[in-house]
Structure 1
Amino acid sequence: MKRSQSNSLATARRWLQIVPGLFAIFWIAGSGVLPVHADRSTPDPTRTQVALRMPVPPTIDGVVNKAEWERAGGNNDYWQVTPDTRTWVSDGIRGGVVGDVPTLPDDANDLSFKILAGYDDNYLYVAVKVTDNVISTDSAAAGSANGNTWLDDSVEVFVDGANANDTRWAAGQIGGQYVITANNAYREAEAGNPGYGPDAAWYAQTALTATGYEAEFRIALTNLGNPKPGDIIGFTVAVNDDDGDPAGGIGTREHQLLWVGKTHQPVTYGNLVLGPRSYTAMKVTTPPNPDGKINTGEYAGAAEIHVNAQIGIVYVPGGDDDLPLTDLDYKAYVVHDDNAVYIAVDVTDDVISSDTVDAAIAAGMTPADGFHTWEDDSVELFFDVDNSRNLGGATAQAPGVFEGQYTLTPQNTYFNGSPSVLATNGFQWFGKSSLTPTGYHIEFKIPKSTLGIT
């Protein structure tokens, strides 16, 4: 992977994260055009995020309460759109794109935002935390319906419920546009006017903050064609910025930023997956040889996990989401036998870098000191062996059982202490890597006893 350039994030990580799975989460640290599909099962080559199941529905009052939204997708700043002038951000926007107004915001205080998404049996929930140093709502009256909301500070949620990928939105299509302004004017005309209100088909509210405003949406899944857990729907969010008229008249819209795509063009929307993906590891009678060289015959029949910047989740705080596929792309395969779980990861990466660990070794450090492998090209596996889904990281297990993170670099270095100083490569788990013409291979063998599987 190419390391980011310049100033305070010169050593920042750039990540892709696979859509979380029930079995394990795979991360790759590192620095072709796919076809568009009109269905709910195949991700389109745009951008991807996940809406996670929320056990308790949030109160739609415009206040994004951390406790209410902590189980939603997008937490820990994974889903954000912000101006960035650094050279490695190709279009001046990190994590998003410029919309209908081509002018870039001055900086993140002028306009930036973060998104959260969740769902339950009945609704899709979306929260947008907007940073905007000038709040202006001079076009659509507070609480009004179907006014010129796009001319004011406002949040627009676009949904292609069938993931039909039509070139333009038209009346009768599933989903549409749902809008709320900073003064709670709303617009639903481009969603077919399904009905707005606390007990209606959809509802949204905003509330001002010290740095801008927050918006919360609740949209009935019946409005979106009743997607089920595991389905993919087309989705994007746009935020409009009106800085007002210094002369006291009605201001015009100065900026618009989107997560991905173009307004009212469903074929350009991103993929929103309802719920984490699951993976079933095939059982084999002859286990792979985890020597760091992937022999496809060893994993024949195993389902392929394929991740890149278009169909995986990008860690935006450390990089941009428009990585070329040659910069980072990977495929993973998982099988098991009576004794162990075997994971193979085939990484495409045009620049292999180990400068952080190399510098540590040059300074006299050893693995016992804890190499910062996450700053270099590396593969990380995460296991929640008790399926507790807790938010605080790995939890203590029985002696000899270790959940959490297993990591390895293309140079066969690993972080001592991951998942535990008591679990080391070559004893409680095994990992090997090798370079390839297009990147590198890594294979892991995790004994079932280490994972508490009997």
Structure 2
Amino acid sequence: MRTVSLACALLLASGVAFADRAMYDPTKTQAAMPLSTPPTIDGVIDLAGGESWIYAGGAKADGTSYWKVVSDLNLDDEIRGGMLGAGTEAPIDDTDLSFQIWAGHDSNYLYIAVRVWDDFIETDSAAAGSANGSTWEDDSVEVFIDGDNSNFPTRDTTGTNPEVVGTGGQYVITANNAYREAEAGNPGYGPNAAWYALTTLRADGTGYDAEFRISMDIIGNPERGDIIGFTVAVNEDDFGGGNQRQLIWVGSTHVEESYGNLVIGPRRYVAPKTSAPTIDGVINASEYAGAEEIAMNTYTVLHNIDYGNDEWPLGDHDFSAWVVHDDEAVYVAVNVIDDILSNDSAAPGTEDGNTWEDDAVEIFFDADYSKDRGRGAGEYEGQYVFTANGAWRDNEANNPLFGENDDWFAAHSVTDSGYQVEFKVTKFALFDVADGSMMGFNISIDDEDVPGENAKIQILWNGFAHVESTYGDLVLSPGGSSVGEWSLH
């Protein structure tokens, strides 16, 4: 797993753009998840019939995606999870224009699915099945890839610049299956070519689905753990003659340095085997020596758009985490940077209250690595929660015993910049997981600022809460590992 160091975080704050597959850009982040079988590219996003889209990045257990761009009249630009394209107006509501994204990969291809809600479909500019027409004037989906994360700084639509088309470019499909690849250097379109895409209008009249398959060869063969530049834009043409609006996940079309971060996932963490830390809610560097820092900020976390928007300043809800283990338990330490602490829903010392409405840390285990589409059926695998005021929740882990000498324990402390939580979860509660084993794992932070209101946002390390198939990987190293000394700042 690649993490962001303190030095990297400082560079992110300064607005410096990075140019390699190991570094995050100061934009937004999502993850493409591995697919064991390739989805059929027929323009139908099958989330009920067993296609592998149900295991892609974005996939929730209810058949929707947590990666989406929707209307929100409470925001200045009226868009949550994305932004307006240049010179366009916000849609009236989600039925006018909104979309969800799924992303998957295997060793040969990157797979992207986009479900568009659009109550008026218009495709009068580019003829059905045609190549390199004026697709931007019709209802269409555009995928942009910077496969080497080189962040070319200026807008480029030439289709001949090797800095752009050498590892990506723009791939477009319209609602009537006209396609455009000129700005990707015309790599070749078709069922057996370098890339392929199809759309299908949904029978209920609410919009259309688009599916893309893009060869890893034409985007520079990124590998698991790499970060590539990526964004999706959707054009809407209601009245013919040209588009009325464009929604985009992040950035500006054809400007690589503005694209989001797509992790070829899942993220992976190797926890060293050490002596047990003291679980007192105070994170001491010596107790987690050898553990690599997971350093997350608003640019590198995955946001749960169901809670709120994904555009926040650095320091509003950042976190760092470390994981170690010994013969008895797995230990997780989380340092949360939060400018406003609010805990009015679950009282201190209480169990199974509404902890998600407060400032809280949640950790998730898929102990048998079953990758279920829900939270799993294992006895004590699931979610463990501790708030910034000392309430806890383990109902979604089937209520193991909480206590210093029981199935799990946690403690917290308030700091000048937020709060810290330390967890101990016994290996007994995690199916007696053995050294060298890999589990599904996730960390989530709930951030409430205003008493009486729900948390304004939920951020995650990898995937979505309570959906095992979206979690990252946690490897329990059979021995200690050595990294440079670290300290909290």
2:171 to 154, 175, 178: 178
Cα distance between partner residues in 2 of 1:244 and 1:167: 34
Cα distance between partner residues in 2 of 1:33 and 1:46: 12
Contact 2:333 2:420 in 1 (8 A): yes
The answer for the alignment partner of 1:237 in structure 2 is 232
What pairs up with 1:283-294 in 2 under 5 angstroms? 283-285=273-275, 287-294=276-283
Deviations 1:173-225, CA, capped at 9 Å, x for gaps: 31000000000000000000011111111111001112011100011111111
Is residue 2:41 matched to residue 1:60?
yes
Shift of 1:416: 4.5
Residue identity matched to 1:148? S
Shift of 1:312: 0.9
The answer for the alignment partner of 1:344 in structure 2 is 333
Does the residue aligned with 1:374 lie in a helix, a strand or coil?
helix
The answer for the alignment partner of 2:67 in structure 1 is 79
Cα distance between partner residues in 1 of 2:90 and 2:77: 9
What pairs up with 1:7-406 in 2 under 5 angstroms? 32-33=13-14, 35-66=16-47, 67-68=50-51, 69-76=53-60, 77-86=65-74, 89-168=75-154, 169=156, 171=160, 172=162, 173=164, 174-209=167-202, 210-245=205-240, 251-285=241-275, 287-358=276-347, 367=350, 370-397=352-379, 402-406=380-384
Residue identity matched to 1:228? E
Shift of 1:130: 0.3
Cα distance between partner residues in 1 of 2:324 and 2:36: 32
Moved more, 201-210 or 408-417: 408-417
Shift of 1:104: 1.3
The answer for the alignment partner of 1:14 in structure 2 is none
Cα distance between partner residues in 2 of 1:403 and 1:33: 40
The answer for the alignment partner of 1:23 in structure 2 is none
* Moved >4 Å (runs of 4+): none
Residue identity matched to 2:36? P
The answer for the alignment partner of 1:432 in structure 2 is 411
Cα distance between partner residues in 2 of 1:153 and 1:204: 15
Shift of 1:51: 0.6
Cα distance between partner residues in 1 of 2:184 and 2:279: 53
Shift of 1:234: 0.5
Cα distance between partner residues in 2 of 1:19 and 1:114: 26
Report the TM-score when normalising by structure 1: 0.86
Contact 2:400 2:429 in 1 (8 A): no
Does the residue aligned with 1:70 lie in a helix, a strand or coil?
helix
Does the residue aligned with 1:356 lie in a helix, a strand or coil?
coil
Shift of 1:307: 1.6
Shift of 1:236: 0.2
Does the residue aligned with 2:306 lie in a helix, a strand or coil?
helix
Does the residue aligned with 1:279 lie in a helix, a strand or coil?
strand
Cα distance between partner residues in 2 of 1:244 and 1:102: 14
Q: How many residues align?
A: 407
Gaps of 5+ in 1: 1-17, 21-31, 246-250
Shift of 1:384: 1.1
Over the residues paired in the alignment, what is the CA RMSD in angstroms? 1.9
Contact 1:162 1:234 in 2 (8 A): yes
Contact 2:77 2:90 in 1 (8 A): no
Shift of 1:372: 1.3
Cα distance between partner residues in 1 of 2:140 and 2:87: 14
The higher relative CO (CA closer than 8 Å, separation ≥ 6) is in 1
Contact 1:79 1:116 in 2 (8 A): yes
Cα distance between partner residues in 1 of 2:373 and 2:421: 28
Cα distance between partner residues in 1 of 2:15 and 2:368: 37
Percent identical among aligned pairs is: 52
Contact 1:380 1:407 in 2 (8 A): yes
Does the residue aligned with 1:272 lie in a helix, a strand or coil?
strand
Cα distance between partner residues in 1 of 2:336 and 2:395: 24
Deviations 1:402-433, CA, capped at 9 Å, x for gaps: 21111100111012424122332432111001
